Amino acid sequence: MVYSVEQNTFIVMSYYRNGTFVDGAWLYSVAACKQEYLANYPDLEIQETSLEAHIRDVINRFVCTGNVNKGKSSGRPAVSEEVVDDLRERL
């Protein structure tokens, strides 16, 4: 499933909103975040284990980059004109 920026933002906000302060440290729950997400988006069919992994990925991305969006991927490597010309000659 492809998650929207709105859904990823909701995940980050829910994760931190459901945190609890215990013995001088903040504790956060993926399970609580998952429950709130499923309650907020009841019409979406999602595998719960997949959602838990996605929540962890989004939180890690947010912690590392400060952003919920995926970075640009390298995509398919560029093909040089030399390679194209070589292939045309062979055909």
Within a domain: 89: no
Please check the confidence at residue 71 and state whether its pLDDT lies above 80: no
pTM: 0.75
Name the residue range of residue 55's domain.
5-65
Within a domain: 78: no
Within a domain: 53: yes
> How far is residue 51's CA from residue 56's CA, in Å, rounded to a whole number?
9
How many other CB atoms sit within 10 Å of the CB of residue 88?
8
Of 57, 62, 77, which is closest to residue 16 (Cα–Cα)? Answer: 62
Mean pLDDT of 48-57: 92
pLDDT at 63: 94
Q: How many domains would you assign to the chain?
A: 1
